[in-house]
Amino acid sequence: QGYTSFWNDCISSGLRGGILIELALRGRICLEPLSIRKKRLLERKVLLKSDAPTGDVLLDETLRHIRATESAETVQTWIELLTGETWNPFKLQYQLRNVRERIAKALVEKGILTTEKQNFLLFDMTTHPVSNTTEKQRLVKKLQESMLERWVNDPHRMDRRTLALLVLAHSSDVLENVFASLADDKYDVAMNRTKDLLDMDPEVEAAKARSTEMIWAVLAAFNK
C-alpha cells in the first residue's frame, strides 16, 4: 500500500528493536555479562563493543547515542528512548526521528519501493508502495518456509536473521500478514508453530549455547 496502518502503534518500537538486534548481529553492542545480581535479560545493560561505523545512517546514529550515554541502559529502556517514549526531557535527544520515512527512502533508492502522493480525504500524503514485489515475496516465502518445509523445531538451529525477523514481525503486530496467503491447514500449522516459538522463555533460551541474547532480550521486552 505504501504506508503503515494508522491503527498499528507497535511498528515504531518494533523497528527500534530491530536496530538493536542488527547492531548486536554486527558485533557493535552486547548485553553486559551475567552476574549474580543481574540475571534477567531485562535487567542487564546494553554495552558498546565497537563504535566502528556500519555504513547505515540509522545504525550509526544509534551507535552514537549509545556511546554518548553517561550510564548504560537496558534493552527495554533503549527501545523507549529511541522511540521517544520518555518523560525525561534530557533523554529526548536519544530519539530516532522519522525512522519509517528514512527506511522507506532507502528502499526507494534500492528500487524496492516507489514514491507516490495519495489523497486521504482531508490531506495528501507521500506514500511508498512496493514496486519490486519479488523482494517482498522472497522475505515472505523465507518466513513461511521456516515454519513449514524448513521447520527445525529448535530456534537455535534456525538462521539468526530469520529468527530475528519472526520476533520483530510479532513485536510489530504484522506477523499474521506473513501467513495470510497460505491455505487454511498450512496457515494453522505455521501460526501454531510460531506461537510455540514466541511463547518460549527468553531467559532460558538466551542462556543456551549459540543463542543470540539480543534477539531474546528484545522478545522479552515486547512480551513483558
Q: What are the grid coordinates assigned to 73, written together?
A: 541502559
Model confidence at 6, pLDDT cuts 50, 70, 90, reads: low
Q: Which CATH number fits domain 9-97+132-223: 1.10.3630.10, 3.40.50.11540, 3.30.390.30, 1.10.3720.10?
A: 1.10.3630.10
d(CA 134, CA 213): 32
Bridge-partner residues for 119, per DSSP? 124
C-alpha torsion 135→137→143→149, nearest 10: -120
Residue 190 has pLDDT above 80, yes or no: yes
Residue 69 has pLDDT above 70, yes or no: yes
Q: Mean pLDDT of all residues in the chain? A: 91
d(CA 60, CA 23): 9
Model confidence at 203, pLDDT cuts 50, 70, 90, reads: very high
Can you give the pLDDT at residue 124?
A: 80
Tell me the whole-structure pTM to 2 decimals: 0.91
Model confidence at 7, pLDDT cuts 50, 70, 90, reads: low
Can you give the pLDDT at residue 36?
A: 64
Can you give the pLDDT at residue 15?
A: 95
Between strands 29-31 and 46-48, the pairing is: antiparallel
Domain boundaries along the sequence of the chain:
9-97+132-223, 101-131
Mean pLDDT along residues 195-214: 92
The SS3 call for residue 218 is helix
Q: Give, as one character, the DSSP assignment of residue 28.
A: S
Residue 75 has pLDDT above 90, yes or no: yes
pLDDT digits (tens, 9 = 90+) for 84-100: 887 777 788 888 999 98
pLDDT digits (tens, 9 = 90+) for 9-65: 789 999 999 999 999 999 999 999 887 677 789 999 999 999 999 999 999 999 999
